Amino acid sequence: MKDPCDHYTFDLIGGVQKKPGRKPLGERAMTVAERKRRSRELRRNRLQELSVTVELSREAQKSLDKMIEWWGVSKKEAINRALLIACQSQMGRTASLFGFELPPEDKAAARKNKDI
């Protein structure tokens, strides 16, 4: 019989001693190459979820080029700014349809404008 206070002696009857570290995902531990491949695949999947592919009309492309020229930013930043500006311009009218909430500082400004 094993002493309950003895944590160092291996229990011959109770079973197999656990290995240190995380359990492997499959039947065996992954190699470094398999782990890296899995990491790249997960990162690629996360990035694909965040990216959006859009086809623009010629007029929209010209407008985008003008915004890039005016602001001196990348296409990504110009599109982000344009979307935010469009969303903010609609905050009083159609924002409730999409469930947008005004930031606290904008709520105070909206109340002031409503009173005027």
d(CA 24, CA 30): 7
Tokens of 45: 């999947």
pLDDT per residue as tens digits for the range 50-101: 778 889 999 999 999 999 999 999 988 898 888 888 887 777 655 555 555 6
Would you state the pLDDT for residue 63? 92
Q: How far is CA 6 from each of CA 3, 12, 42, 46, 104, rounded to the nearest angstrom?
A: 5, 13, 43, 47, 61
Residue 78: how many CB atoms within 10 A of its CB?
Answer: 20
pLDDT at residue 46 is higher than 70 = yes
Please name the residue ranges forming H helices in 3-103. 32-50, 58-71, 75-89, 95-98
Give percent of the chain above pLDDT 90. Answer: 23
Encoded amino acid at 100, one letter: F
pLDDT classification of 12: cutoffs 50, 70, 90: low
